[in-house]
């Protein structure tokens, strides 16, 4: 327990005192370098997986006609003329 009063003697007559108080977290988890690197790698993999999933879902528009044919259909319709 490092709490308490610390004294440093400088020379024969000079003394400096320091009172140390601190609180420790009782439910804390120690995070080391492998844990942080694992979290970063998992985040990158999840982001890449999500990006590929969005690309695969939105990249394939099946059954959609081109804009040129849409324009021709609107022009030939008598209601819009």
Q: What is the pLDDT of residue 45?
A: 97
pTM score above 0.85: no
More confident call, 76 vs 43: 43
Q: Residue 71 corresponds to which tokens in the numbers above?
A: 């324009």
Q: How confident is the model over 52-69, as pLDDT tens digits?
A: 999 888 876 555 555 555
Q: Residue 75 corresponds to which tokens in the numbers above?
A: 């022009």
More confident call, 70 vs 44: 44
Query: Which residues, listed in sequence order, are joined to residue 5 by a DSSP beta bridge?
Result: 19
Q: How confident is the model over 2-45, as pLDDT tens digits?
A: 778 888 888 888 888 888 887 777 788 888 999 999 999 999 99
Nearest in space to 16 (alpha carbons), one of 5, 30, 28, 3: 5
Whether the CB-CB separation of 7 and 15 falls below 8 Å is answered with yes
């Amino acid at each position: 327990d490092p709490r308490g009063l610390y004294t440093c003697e400088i020379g024969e007559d000079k003394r400096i005192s320091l009172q140390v108080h601190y609180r420790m977290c009782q439910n804390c988890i120690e995070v080391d370098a492998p844990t942080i690197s694992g979290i970063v790698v998992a985040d990158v993999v999840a982001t890449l997986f999500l990006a590929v999933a969005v690309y695969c879902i939105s990249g394939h528009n099946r059954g959609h006609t081109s804009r040129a044919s849409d324009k021709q259909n609107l022009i030939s319709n008598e209601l819009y003329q």
